């Protein structure tokens, strides 16, 4: 009855992901899956930079899944999966499903599986009560009638009708004056009553049903337009089954239907349900086919998506809807931030220059050597995040791991680094795209700021777009009301950063002891956002 499909576990890096973030997610997912654990899927929270595209293409990998949010959806609920009945089935068949499956409603579907209506036990009961006041049926397929009555036709011919209509009457043995009216618009149920049978045939009624009785020999050769059926049920049960031979499409509710899709968010569903009077709602897939039903109680304890965070542990940098997800692990090399969990988790935070270094170490610990291509991919992430080992965040562990991976991949870290940073951004990229490819927000001592970083071998060429960069920075700063917005154009060869800044310029000047001219300064030896820019501002404002 319940949807027990187990969802995968997503491994995600931070927003506006860099090469280290994307590769760490991919490498850790590969490690988990190789060890035979549950299905892990690497994901990303933004576009893929030119640099990362180069690295992925070079080693033959596709970008990971683009995950827009991790909010709980209908597909994450343990919704019911009762049988969905075709609109052509009989009420009798639907009622048997209600009894056997103990459900409160059934989706009624068209031939292509799309939603036609909803059928509840109350709908059937209401129709049954109406049949007492109006004991008439219209156009019941004879096929349905025979199925419900477990009956057979006693005078089948080429003129046998496809459907039957008429008033349903029972011929009582004590009736002396006959049944009035009894004519061509009558469906008569009889027992061992030859005189009633004769009267019915004489009046040319629509259908004669013999209940637990045989057709007398005298009538077997009589030609009549009356359809004669037999059933093993008594007259009372047979009469009820006639009404239940109607197709469910005539009884089900079709007006004001409220349905939900698998991708609908539970927050939105809950609001709709609170404003609705129904107890059960159909669930549809992306092709509008019925896949189950949802009741109010399913919303009480939703099954949350499960995630592993790599290369970050800060809410503002993580996937939207993280508060609705279950965090299983965090693998990171940044400062501790504000991500909170409801249960103890595996948390690994190490002071190294790249999260990929930690992931590679975990391969060693598990006794699993990455393939040649995967080793090259991880190496590229380490080289990128440590800025060819020139970043102050770089450690001896990063360097040693990089050289180990280079031997497996058969490629020089230095040559790979030059290749990566020589094509950090192509000519097709607009200043806006370059500005927000590696962009992060920070909240420090009451100050909100955004810091973007572009790493290159030719900072002078990028500075030709200075006016365009500043214009885009001004727009974003005004929109987000930042205290400050910075763009780091980090030059690998110069081993420093050309810093463009807007907002609280005096703080930047004090923190780095430089003079800001026309929103620009060069910071010699500064190549790390997290270990040099952010700590200096934190110390100043703290």
Same domain, 317 and 402: yes
Query: CB count, 10 Å around CB of 110?
Result: 16
Residue 409: partners with Cβ closer than 8 Å, 6 or more residues away: 372, 373, 375, 376, 379
Domain count of the fold of the chain: 2
Percent of the chain at pLDDT above 70?
Answer: 96
Using CB atoms within 10 Å of the CB of residue 456, give its burial: 0 to 12 exposed, 13 to 18 middle, 19+ buried.
Answer: buried
Report the pLDDT averaged over residues 348-356: 97
403 and 442 co-located in one domain? no
Cα separation, 178 vs 259, whole angstroms: 52
Same domain, 438 and 515: yes
- CATH code, domain carrying 493: 3.10.310.20
Mean pLDDT along residues 332-345: 92
Do 367 and 439 sit in the same domain of this protein? no
pTM of structure: 0.68
pLDDT tens sequence across 262-288: 999 999 999 999 888 888 999 999 999
Query: Tokens 């040099």 — which residue?
Result: 532
Per DSSP, the three-state class of 15 is strand
Residue 179 confidence (pLDDT): 47
Residue 457: left if φ>0, alpha if ψ -120 to 50, beta else—which one?
A: alpha
How does the average pLDDT of the chain come out, rounded? 90
Torsion, CA 96, CA 98, CA 102, CA 106, rounded to 10 = 140
In a domain, 385, yes or no: yes
Residue 425 has pLDDT above 80, yes or no: no
In a domain, 349, yes or no: yes
Domain end call among 422, 444, 463? 422
Per-residue model confidence (pLDDT) at position 178? 47
- The residue segments making up the domain with residue 515 are 431-541
The domain boundary residue, chosen from 372, 396, 422: 422
DSSP codes of every residue in 355-399: HHHHHHHHHHHTT-PPPHHHHHHHHHHHHHHTTTTTSTT--HHHH
pLDDT digits (tens, 9 = 90+) for 357-407: 999 999 999 999 999 999 999 999 999 999 999 998 999 999 999 999 999
Q: Is the pLDDT of residue 511 over 50?
A: yes
CA dihedral in degrees (463, 465, 468, 470; nearest 10)?
Answer: 0
SS3 content of the chain, % helix, strand, coil (to 5): 35, 25, 40
Q: What is the pLDDT of residues 105-124, one digit of tens each?
A: 999 999 999 999 999 989 99
Q: What is the reported pLDDT for 107?
A: 94
In a domain, 104, yes or no: no
Q: Is the pLDDT of residue 182 over 90?
A: no
Q: Is the pLDDT of residue 174 over 80?
A: no
Q: How many angstroms separate the CA atoms of 99 and 109, rounded?
A: 20
pLDDT tens sequence across 461-479: 999 999 999 999 999 999 9
């Amino acid at each position: 009855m319940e949807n027990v499909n187990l969802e995968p576990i997503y491994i995600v890096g931070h927003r506006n992901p860099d090469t280290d973030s994307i590769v760490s997610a991919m490498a850790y997912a590969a490690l988990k899956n190789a060890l035979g654990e549950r299905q892990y899927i690497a994901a990303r929270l933004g576009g893929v930079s030119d640099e990362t595209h180069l690295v992925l293409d070079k080693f033959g990998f596709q970008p990971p899944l683009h995950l827009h949010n991790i909010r709980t959806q209908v597909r994450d609920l343990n919704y019911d999966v009762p049988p969905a009945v075709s609109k052509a089935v009989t009420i009798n068949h639907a009622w048997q499903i209600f009894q056997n499956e103990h459900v409160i409603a059934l989706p009624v579907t068209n031939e292509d599986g799309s939603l036609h209506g909803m059928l509840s036990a109350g709908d059937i009961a209401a129709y049954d009560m109406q049949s007492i006041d109006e004991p008439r049926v219209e156009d019941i397929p004879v096929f349905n009638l025979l199925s419900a009555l477990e009956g057979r036709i006693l005078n089948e011919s080429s003129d046998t009708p496809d459907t039957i209509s008429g008033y349903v009457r029972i011929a009582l043995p004590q009736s002396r004056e006959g049944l009035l009216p009894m004519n061509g618009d009558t469906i008569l149920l009889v027992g061992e009553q030859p005189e009633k049978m004769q009267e019915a045939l004489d009046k040319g009624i629509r259908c004669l049903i013999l209940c637990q009785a045989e057709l007398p020999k005298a009538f077997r050769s009589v030609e009549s337009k009356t359809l004669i059926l037999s059933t093993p049920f008594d007259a009372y049960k047979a009469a009820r089954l006639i009404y239940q031979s109607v197709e469910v499409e005539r009884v089900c509710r079709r007006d004001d239907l409220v349905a939900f899709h698998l991708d609908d968010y539970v927050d939105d569903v809950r609001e709709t349900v609170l404003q609705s009077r129904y107890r059960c709602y159909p669930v549809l897939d992306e092709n509008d086919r019925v896949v189950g039903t949802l009741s109010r109680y399913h919303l009480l304890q939703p099954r949350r998506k499960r995630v592993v965070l790599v290369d970050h542990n800060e809410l503002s940098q993580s996937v939207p809807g993280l508060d609705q997800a279950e965090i299983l692990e965090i693998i990171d090399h940044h400062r501790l931030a504000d991500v909170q969990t409801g249960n103890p988790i595996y948390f690994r935070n190490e002071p190294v220059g790249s999260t990929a270094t930690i992931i590679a170490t975990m391969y060693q610990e598990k006794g699993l050597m990455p393939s040649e291509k995967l080793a090259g991919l991880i190496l590229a992430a380490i080289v990128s995040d440590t800025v060819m080992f020139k970043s102050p965040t770089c450690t001896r562990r990063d360097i040693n791991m990089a050289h180990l991976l280079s031997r497996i991949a058969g490629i020089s870290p230095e040559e790979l680094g030059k290749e990566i940073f020589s094509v950090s951004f192509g000519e097709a990229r607009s200043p806006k795209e370059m500005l927000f490819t590696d962009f992060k927000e920070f909240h420090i001592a009451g100050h909100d700021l955004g810091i973007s970083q572009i790493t290159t071998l030719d900072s002078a060429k990028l500075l030709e777009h200075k006016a365009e960069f500043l214009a885009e920075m001004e727009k974003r700063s005004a929109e987000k009301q930042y205290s400050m917005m910075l763009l780091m154009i980090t030059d690998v060869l110069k081993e420093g950063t050309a810093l463009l800044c807007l907002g609280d310029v005096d703080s930047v000047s004090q923190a780095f002891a430089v003079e800001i001219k026309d929103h620009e300064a060069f910071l010699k030896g500064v190549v790390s956002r997290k270990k040099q820019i952010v700590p200096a501002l934190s110390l100043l404002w703290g």
